[in-house]
Amino acid sequence: MEIEMQIIIVGCGKVGSTIAEQLSAEGHDITIVDTDESVVQALATRLDIMGVTGNGATHSILAEAGVEEADLLIAVTESDELNLLCCMVGKKAGAEHTIARVRNPEYSQDIGFMKKELGLAMTINPEYAASTEMARLLRFPSAIEIDTFGRGRVELLEYKIEDDNILAGKSLIDVGKNIKSDILICAVERGEDVIIPNGSFVLKSGDIISVVASTENARDFFKKVGCGSNEVKDTMIVGGGTIAYYLANQLIPLGIKVKIIEKSHERCEELSAMLPNAVIIHGDAADKDVLLEEGIESCSSFVSLTGIDEENAFLSLYAKSVSNAKIVTKINRISFDDIIEKFDLGSMIYPKHITAEYIVRYVRGLQNSVGSNNVEALYKIIHGEAEALEFYIKEDSSMTDKTLEAMPIREGVLVAGIIRNGKVMIPNGKSVFQKNDSVIVITKITGMQNLEDILK
């Protein structure tokens, strides 16, 4: 039985509207609040949800939005302080759970205190979340994208098959026989199509495959297909904003040398004080002489983090043309992603998407407290064309102790992994589910809430 939740979203910018879209598609009762009447009306009409115009930090506006009955209030305006105030007022006025977007690094050491004192269920920092994804990619440069399940024990990696790769022209059965790696190729993106493949499916160069594996087995697989998973030794970051600061902070302890190129002299001085172990260069990266002088041709990774998407795209294309670096590109405006996908910009990171995904995942977790085999984690994969879900089996049910081959599993659904007692298993027809297992499912069918939903 699906639990519909009453959710108020304050702030209808890119993040707020993305969250509203995803949560309303999952059948929740959404009310949006923003001071801009035209934005509220347009979004409310498009998604067929309730809209309230006004300041979401005031009791009267929150009352109009139905705060007393709200299961969750999410504050994602541009201002951290306003978000915290919304949550404080909302909590006092009756909202059961509250989530605030807090992005200023100055608040980062106080998050624990704020959560406790203001009764926040969760805080989300888009820049920090984006930098964490980037750091993960730089540790595993062969992958285009990486998501993790089972508290980091299982990785879902996207990988592009180049012309000379040994996987090109092989069926999945051949791959299993020849490469002898305990991994599962669970989805293939070929041009515009997304395929959940079976054993006879033949891979081609240009395919982007999604691979499920434990961290160790993923490393083994990449080695065997000729991509040593050598971690990057150094990185050149263009743009010295908040993400660059967080990313440098995560890479330096791993022994990765960090060089940041930033236009603003004042910001360079701030970064020099905050990141004594990074090299900070004052210069304009739009001038390719600056990039060449700073060693773009020999760097092992390149990350474009300016505030302008077009500039990031051009910088990444240039880095790709002059070096063999692992390339990571930040894209803010989600509306152009179909055009941007056509360029080969390495790994693309959308901070807004990541934020929305974290929040949707939390909401699904809240629903989980009710029901026996509900979703623990959800990732949109292959540009939102498919979902990877993690279900936790709380108790014995009709799904336990039956072999997979005996189950009438729906078309377009693949059971990709089982985590039992901390061990990762790639399942076959004889595998069975047991109580306390985590089960990873890949599917093109959206909105699955229970493990039973995989059955016909």
Superfamily of domain covering 6-124: NAD(P)-binding Rossmann-like Domain (3.40.50.720)
Confidence of residue 1 (pLDDT cuts 50, 70, 90): very low
Residue 240 is given by DSSP the state -
pTM of this structure: 0.77
State the pLDDT at residue 375: 73
Strands 145-149 and 326-330: unpaired
Average pLDDT, rounded, for the chain? 88
Contact between residue 448 and residue 375 where contact means Cβ atoms under 8 Å apart? yes
State the pLDDT at residue 10: 98
Min mean pLDDT across 65-74, 366-375, 415-424 is at 366-375
Q: What is the pLDDT of residues 313-362, one digit of tens each?
A: 999 999 999 999 999 999 887 566 667 777 778 888 988 888 888 888 78
* More reliable by pLDDT, 10 or 286: 10
Q: What is the pLDDT of residues 53-97, one digit of tens each?
A: 999 999 999 999 999 999 999 999 999 999 999 999 999 999 999
Contact between residue 235 and residue 256 where contact means Cβ atoms under 8 Å apart? yes
CA distance 257 to 237: 11
Q: What is the pLDDT of residues 13-52, one digit of tens each?
A: 988 998 999 899 888 999 999 999 999 999 999 999 999 9
State the pLDDT at residue 256: 93
Give kind and range of the element (H or E) at residue 212.
strand 208-214
DSSP string, 323-357: ---EEEEE---GGGHHHHTTS--SEEE-HHHHHHH
Three-class SS of 51-77: EEECCCCCHHHHHHCCHHHCCEEEECC
Overall fold of domain 359-454: Alpha-Beta Plaits (3.30.70)
Residue ranges, CATH 3.40.50.720, the chain = 6-124, 234-354
Q: Which residue has the tokens 């109580």?
A: 435
Asked whether residue 374 carries a pLDDT value surpassing 70, the answer given is: no
Residue 87 backbone phi and psi in degrees, to 5: -65, -40
Sheet holding 347-349, edge to edge: 279-282, 257-262, 234-238, 301-304, 326-330, 347-349
Min mean pLDDT across 80-89, 146-155, 258-267, 434-443 is at 146-155
Calculate what percentage of the chain has a pLDDT beyond 90.
Answer: 43
Residue 206, phi-psi category: left (phi > 0), alpha (psi -120 to 50), beta (remainder): left
Q: What is the pLDDT of residues 271-301, one digit of tens each?
A: 999 999 999 999 999 998 999 999 999 999 9
DSSP string, 254-315: GT-EEEEEES-HHHHHHHHHH-TTSEEEES-TTSHHHHHHTTTTT-SEEEE--S-HHHHHHH
State the pLDDT at residue 105: 83
Residue ranges, CATH 3.30.70.1450, the chain = 131-225, 359-454
Strands 386-392 and 97-101: unpaired
Q: Is 81 helix (H, G, I), strand (E, B) or coil?
A: helix
CATH number for the segment(s) 131-225:
3.30.70.1450
State the pLDDT at residue 8: 97
- CATH second-level architecture of 234-354? 3-Layer(aba) Sandwich (3.40)
Q: What is the pLDDT of residues 98-127, one digit of tens each?
A: 999 998 888 888 888 988 888 898 899 989
State the pLDDT at residue 358: 83
Asked whether residue 201 carries a pLDDT value surpassing 50, the answer given is: yes
CA distance 259 to 255: 13
Closest CA to 386 of 183, 213, 219, 212: 212
